[in-house]
Chains A and B, each alone.
Chain A
Amino acid sequence: MRINLSSVPVDDQAKALRFYTEMLGFQKKHDIPMGEHRWLTVVSPEDPDGVELALEPDEHPAVKPFKSALVEDGIPFTSFAVRDIAAEHKRLESLGVRFTQPPVDYGTVIAAVLDDTCGNLIMIAQETPKS
């Protein structure tokens, strides 16, 4: 068994695709019409055959209150790995991305939290070599 897919619940798939590709820099992998919505996934250009991230509609009534509660407390829904978090933070901020947490050094990892504009907070994290 292996993990090949993860997902984030988004309030608008078209908007999410723009944010996750144009801002975060992922690539569209699958885009299959499924009635009202799409089976829509993105991958990292660093690993195009790797784990896919599905941008899933958040229309179930339980999802929005759950997302709001997480956002209120600043809790990220998921996390992506970056090589240089200072550079990514600067790049994304200059694109107008809102961070609820600037890079914070936790010892083994430096992590920041951003708003994906689709109702989620997302962590970006850089592992730091153990000294």
Chain B
Amino acid sequence: MTNSGQDRTCTVSFAPSGSKAEVPIGVTILAAAREAGVYVENLCGGEGVCGKCRVIVRSGIVRGETTNYLTREEIKEGYVLACEGRVGGDLLVDVPPESQLYGRVREPDIAELRLKQRTVLERQPAKLDPPVNKYHFTVPPATLENSRADMERLEHELRKVNGGGHYQAGLKVGQRLPGAIRASNGEVTVTVAHRGALNEIVDVVGGDRSKPNLAVAVDVGTTSVIAHLVEVSTGQTLGTDAKYNSQAAYGADVLRRIIHCTEHPDGLAQLHAMVTDDINILIQELLNKFRLSKNYVTQVVIAGNTTILHTVLGLNPEWIRREPYVGVTYSPPPFRAAELGITISPRGLVYSMPCVSSFVGGDITAGVLATGLHESDAPRMLIDIGTNGEIVIGNKDWMVCASASAGPAFEGGETRDGMRATRGAIDHLRGWRVGHPFTFSTVGDEAPCGLCGTAYVDLLVQMLRLGVMDKTGRINTDNGVDRIRKGVDDVLEFVVLEAGEKGATRQLAITQNDIANLLRAKAAVYAATKVLLNSLGLQMSDLKEILVAGAFGNFLDLENAVAIGLLPDVPGERLRFVGNACIIGAKMAALSRERYDEAQQIANAMTYFELSTDPTFMEAFTSACFFPHTNIEEFPSVMATMS
């Protein structure tokens, strides 16, 4: 008897990794990739709505729906969406660069620099003293004269290196202690965790095992998850990695994810599993890259918005959405990583950057810590551009913060050919003239396969200058530019690169819908800054400096960001791009418990300003939905270049 079609299994091989999976006929390529341990980028978790899980089928039969995310040419070349293509026989599948996990986030490693300078505002550096530290010393043997217990002798020695205070050890440590002390003639390595006033003796082993001591700082964003692996004894960042937050399958914004938790009995468990999986994937990738064991990782510092942090910790975020909008906790203590399903050392801890309110999270506390805004004499503003745009205005005496929902358009979401700032992403575009191709650069100098946030900023400026679109963002079909055409569903698009042009792995274009999403994103950020300033009775000119943060990639062309109205038009020297301040702040906390405690003080010092109930916000938003702004007089430098 022959096998029925249902039972037959097929071999799916993935290039370039060479990994294979045996799967039953009819499963999706995405599922086969998971089976084979091959990462295929996706934002929506396989719902067919993000269009990011592009793969190329080199040989074999694939069945599936047609999709609007691929051009006719791409379909001819064998492109399919991995979540929609179903295995119909043995397959050879290419995972193109834009769909692979990562490549380094191209960001100069300013973290160490920051630690040395201490902050953007150049305070004194903090001393390296991570919240979870390892101490190597010798415990003198017990004698008839000194017959104190093992634990007492250990603590006595520990106080010499780690200072006084309360020490506490769990039962496991007690059970291991006598063996550890006696294994190497009293030589031990003790892992101690900072828990406020208390020091927890987390682990004790015999011999010198103090190095390596690794920490992972994670910026858990609504759209992206970014991880940095740090050797805490030197402060050196070993590697960085990033991926999309898989929770996006349950909604692009935090509110929809909360609703998912409320409406599905397993909702919270699903979101928790997805985001901890994301964190684990990143940690494992980083460790693999350096052939390091997870047992060396003693701490993870999480910086995320309040809702995301709730899901990481498995706390129910339901009441964040309901009046009067409260979370379970804004300053969670450190928890055992194993309890959260985060795979590091079994005794390792997860620290959370403290949140301010239900809508201003630990990401912004981390940003303030990194920039040192809380020590500034004159008022400064910090703008963190992410799926939620967060704004802090303040100085050493006061801080006010607000949050505006901007959407993921600058992070590779909500834009057809958008991607994170990873390998092959075009990050800057320059000098386009009608009839000529763009000059551009890509992350890692690789063949262009998508556009990241900074590229969109540059692109919008070029399109405005050349009249390819008007100030409402509408693409202009009248000027005879051959790169403007009707794409899928007759939506207008402007082609940045044709497939193959300058090595492009596929056609890269910006669509009318992409522009609308980018316009709304920039309008939300700008409107938030205006309303917050107005509420304080301040003008842009009262701010000594505007610090711009975000996971944009290498750097943001500030002049262009002003030209599209994303950032206020202030003299150039008062505008500074500080990179991903969130992850820098998280890293600072991972390297210094003093800084970690300082983050708590920052969170306590910030006053939250609710924009959604402010009657002027909608008006400010509408007038910002224009390039650069309806009140063009707020953009004098842009006005000057127009006339």
The finding on whether chains A and B are genuine partners in a shared complex, rather than unrelated, reads no
Query: Which residues of A are in contact with B by a Cβ distance under 8 Å?
Result: none
